[in-house]
Each structure stands twice: as structure tokens, then as C-alpha cells.
Amino acid sequence: MAIYLDYAATAPMPSAVVDAYAAALRLVGNPSSIHSQGQESKRVLEEAREKVAASLGADRVEVTFTGGGTEAVNLGIKGLFWSSPHRRILVPMAEHHATIEAVEWLEQHEGAIVDWIPVDAVGRIDLAALEAKIGPDVALITLLLANNEIGTIQPVEQVVALAAQHGIPVHVDAIAAYGYLPIDFHALGVAALSVSAHKIGGPVGIGALLIARSATIVPLVHGGSQQRGRSGTQDAAGAAAFGVAAGLIHPPSSALRDRLITGVLDSVPGAVLRGDPVERLPGNAHFTFPGCEGDSLLFLLDSAGFSVSTGSACQAGVPEASHVLLALGLDEPTARGALRFTLGADTTETEVDALLAALPEAVRRASIAGLA
């Protein structure tokens, strides 16, 4: 049986989530219908909304369910941009592709002016560079709470403080951080925040955008106004499963992550940890292995019974260097030798030790393949 070390791509669904999902799928009423069956669906939906809100320090009215994390990011960024009279968007260079492609689309089709803010060698936003770009003509700032590839936690509180001086709304992509870091939407003071259910053991195909009461969002989809900022019949079953998953959040062990990091650095000469060594997600261990292709390492470990990744699952199968690592200043050959291990609450010491035993041979074989 394969050892699963790719929780950042998607987390397994606990049996309680599967059971809740299956039970809710048997409901036949539309949550917008006023008959008793419709109202039962609405009750299930709204109870789930309350659970998701509670897991994020938000009010129920601030939770808009979406078709996943990518839609939530697009709604947050485009909705805030369209509601602003200004045209400039400030974005760090190492964001997820959902953000990158959303702002590039706005640049190409909606007249947006995108200012890319550099990051340092561990992927943290350059606050001085951000401050130099902030002005009264900025429509919004968008950034990750924690990097989905290298795990670095961003100084969101400081970004929000800078933005607040000019009344600039901030959207935070918290998809990689949800379930791994405590998130308090009200304390962060952001205008919008995106999350995804399947990153915390919920189903694929449902996410949420938290929209502050004070924020204005122009919808992506019109027709029905079932939710604030989003039209369309709501997925009561997906929401029910999402709500159960939100109530079962249990972050992985930072100590186990550190055991993995230390073991890799001790057993594989030349391996380099990427991302901040301390201020990083508790389940994330990301390395580059000189002389190796990340894809070769992935396939060798897969054949040995380990599920890992080279970076974002959204770019899986695309043979190119990670834009995140290039933004850190790495050259392309180095960036192509990346591998990401991500742990969950159920990951055990035995599984980590098994990986550490198998990794050196995989690196040796990948190095030979790289020289061929």
C-alpha cells in the first residue's frame, strides 16, 4: 500500500465526511424552495455554512460557497477589482497560478495594471518594495497566506496594515494554509479570503470565499443571487461534507515535519531545504536535489510506494521549472530538481522513516538518469 505524502494536493476524506456527504446526497429539495423538503436542504446548507465560518473566525453571512478554491480566488480578485474605480493590482511574484492567471486576464481584458512585488530567497514578500508601490490608485492587493509549494508563511498582518493606510482592500489566498494554520478572518482584517474543502478532507468541487461585511464584490456569475457575490443553485451535499471536514481540522505535527527535514538533509548530500526553515507550514518539507530531475525522483519514489509531488498539483504533468523557485532566484536546472513532501495529521513516524530509508537510493538513480 502506498504511503501518501501529498496532502497539499488533496487530503483524504475521513469516513465521517464521506458518511455526511452520502447522507446529504439523498436530499431532494432545492435549498431555495420554500416547501419542507427544500427547507430541509437549506437547513443542512446553513448549518454547514456556520461550521465553515466558525473554523475561520468569520460570521455565517460572510461565507459564500463556490465551486472550489480556484473559483474563490477568481471571485475575490476580479470581484474586488471590478468594484474599484482604480486599475492597479499589487501581487507578489510567487503566487499560485489561480492568482497569476486571474490578474493576467484582468490585465489583458479589463485594463488592469499589475505590479509584481519581488520575494526574498525564502519566498517572503518584500515589504519595502510593496510599500514603495502602494498608493491611492491601487484597486487591491492579493497574496497567499502561506506558499502552496515551499510552505513559507507570509506577513499578512503587516501587508494589511500597509494597505489600510490607503484604504486598499486585501484578498488572501488561504487555500494552502487552511487546516494547517489558525485563521481568524476578523482579526486579519482582510476584505476577502479564499479556501477549498478538499485541502482539509472535504470533497473536491466546493470551496468558499469569505467576504467581509464592509467589502463590495462584483459577481462572476449572475442569475438568481442565491448567495452574496454568487448566483447558482447551492450544493447542499458538498457544503454538508465541507462543514464536517471543517469541524475535524487537526494540523500535522511540526515535530514530524522537522524529523523529515533533518533526515533528508542528513541522508542526501547536496539536498537544500526551500522556503523559510521556521516560518513555514507544519506539514511542508520542500527540497531541491542537485543533478536530479524532480519528475524522475517522483516516479522512482512512486514505484517504491510513496506518493509525493514536484510542486503544485495544478501544474502536474507540465515539464517546466516551478515559477515559485525561479522567483526565489534559483536557476532553471536547480529549480527542476524539486520535490515536495506534505504531511497530514494521520502521517506517522514509521511512514516518514520509510521515506528516509528509500530516498537516498532514489536520488542516486535520478542523478545517474540526469547524467545520461
- Structural domains in the chain, CATH included, are 3-10+251-371 (3.90.1150.10)
* Intra-chain end-to-end CA distance of the chain, in Å: 31
Percent of the chain scoring above 90 in pLDDT: 96
Give the per-residue pLDDT at 1: 76
Average the pLDDT over 265-283 and give the result: 97
Indicate the average pLDDT of the chain.
96
Position 195 pLDDT exceeds 70: yes
| Single pTM value for the model | 0.96
Q: How far is CA 151 from each of CA 10, 37, 54, 283, 353, rounded to the nearest angstrom?
A: 15, 44, 24, 8, 21
Is 314 in the active site? yes
Average pLDDT estimate for 19-33: 96
Q: Which of 127, 314, 354, 356 is catalytic?
A: 314
In this prediction, residues 158-178 reach a mean pLDDT of: 98
CB-based burial label for 326 (10 Å; 0-12, 13-18, 19+): middle
Q: What is the mean pLDDT of residues 272-280?
A: 98
Distance CA 13, CA 75 (A): 26
Q: What is the pLDDT of residues 348-370, one digit of tens each?
A: 999 999 999 999 999 999 997 65
Query: Positive or negative CA dihedral for 183, 187, 189, 192?
Result: positive
The DSSP secondary structure of 127-183, one letter per residue, reads HHHHHHH--TTEEEEEEESB-TTT-BBP-HHHHHHHHHTTT--EEEE-TTTBTTB--
Question: What's the rounded mean pLDDT across residues 149-156?
Answer: 98
Q: What is the pLDDT of residue 313?
A: 53
pLDDT, average across residues 244-272: 97
Whether 196 shows a pLDDT value over 70: the answer reads yes
Nearest to 99 by CA among 130, 74, 116, 134: 74
Q: Does 319 have pLDDT greater than 90? A: no
**Cβ 97 vs Cβ 242: under 8 Å:** no
Residue 264: predicted pLDDT:
98
Q: Which three cell numbers stand for residue 368?
A: 545517474
How many other C-beta atoms can be found within 10 angstroms of the C-beta atom of residue 259?
Answer: 17
**pLDDT greater than 50 at residue 372:** no
